[in-house]
């Protein structure tokens, strides 16, 4: 366990060299009763999944591809905030390593408009309670620009690139992410999400920007100014026809 200092996150670790998708494996383990905080880690994913049915590039030995199973005692409406929590955890780890990054709503981490980290949350819930949440986190650690597939070469980057070409120690960075996740998860259990939302506001690059919103469900498209997030983690966008409330996972947003 490399001296991992956590209470809950990573208390059980499932590691494999190759998996199709750590989210898929985590969902199976969760359905079979895996404990709160269990993580699934792969050195390589052959079918890494992104949001909106996209694929996620996950080559061997160069990134951190993992999923964490959470069983929080909240209502399903609180789940989007767990995704914001995960983005804040990675942003805090980056800060500890002196690496700059900003969170694009809801949860990508970007540097100079290129993606460093993607997060995919999948939930199983009943009416009034979360059964489990699987938060999948993909971190491009030591990938050189020319190693990205051509389709994402202009839109992706890595910690190594942000670090001026110097490789970033993968296991140490992973530990820092797990410790940050663990600390934030413990914090919300006792104090709620207020501090997570405040930290998210500190790390985000989306607020006060002009954004283009495309509703995934209704295909509605509009442009507005991202004013704030509300207590549910929804993005508040001021458009010509008034204020829209955009829920996590409902839209894709890109700077104009
Ligand atoms: C996105 O950028 O749209 C989200 C990407 C999420 C990628 C991670 S890698 C670990 C986990 N397993 C997956 O199949 N996807 C997530």
| Rounded distance from Cα 47 to ligand 1 centre (Å) | 10
- pLDDT per residue over 155-201, tens digit each? 999 999 999 999 999 999 999 999 999 999 999 999 999 999 999 99
Question: HEC profile for 199-246?
Answer: HHHHHECCCCCEEEEEECCCCCEEEEEEEEECCCCCEEEEECCEEEEE
Is 115 annotated to bind ligand? yes
97 against 1, higher pLDDT: 97
Which residue intervals of the chain bear CATH 3.30.930.10?
13-203
Burial 32-45 (b: 16+ CB within 10 A, else e): eebebbbbbbbbbb
Q: Assign a CATH topology to domain 13-203.
A: BirA Bifunctional Protein; domain 2 (3.30.930)
Verdict on whether the full-model pTM lies above 0.90? yes
Is 21 annotated to bind ligand? yes
Which residue intervals of the chain bear CATH 2.30.30.100?
210-255
Q: Assign a CATH topology to domain 210-255.
A: SH3 type barrels. (2.30.30)
Distance between CA atoms of residues 242 and 12, nearest Å: 47
Nearest alpha carbon, ligand 1 atom 15 = 49
Is 24 annotated to bind ligand? no
The answer on pLDDT for 120 being more than 50 is: yes
Number of C-alpha atoms within 13 angstroms, CB side, residue 86? Answer: 29
């Amino acid at each position: 366990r490399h001296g991992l200092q956590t209470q809950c996150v990573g208390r059980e670790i499932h590691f494999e060299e190759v998996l199709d998708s750590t989210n898929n494996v985590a969902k199976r383990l969760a359905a079979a009763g895996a404990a709160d905080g269990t993580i699934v880690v792969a050195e390589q994913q052959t079918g890494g999944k992104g949001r909106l049915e996209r694929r996620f590039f996950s080559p061997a030995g160069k990134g951190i591809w993992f999923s964490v199973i959470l069983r929080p005692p909240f209502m399903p409406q609180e789940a989007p905030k767990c995704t914001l929590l995960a983005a804040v955890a990675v942003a805090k780890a980056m800060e500890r390593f002196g690496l700059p990054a900003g969170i694009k709503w809801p949860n990508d981490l970007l540097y100079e408009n290129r993606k460093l980290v993607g997060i995919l949350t999948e939930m199983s819930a009943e009416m009034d309670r979360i059964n489990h949440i699987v938060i999948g986190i993909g971190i491009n650690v030591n990938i050189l620009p020319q190693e990205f597939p051509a389709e994402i070469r202009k839109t992706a980057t890595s910690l190594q690139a942000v670090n001026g070409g110097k490789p970033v120690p993968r296991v140490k960075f992973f530990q820092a992410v797990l410790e940050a996740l663990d600390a934030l998860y413990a914090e919300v259990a006792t104090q709620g999400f207020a501090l997570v939302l405040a930290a998210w506001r500190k790390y985000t690059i989306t607020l006060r920007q002009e954004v283009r919103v495309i509703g995934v469900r209704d295909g509605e498209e509009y442009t507005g100014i991202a004013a704030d997030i509300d207590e549910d983690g929804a993005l508040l966008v001021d458009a010509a026809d008034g204020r829209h409330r955009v829920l996590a996972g409902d839209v894709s947003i890109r700077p104009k």
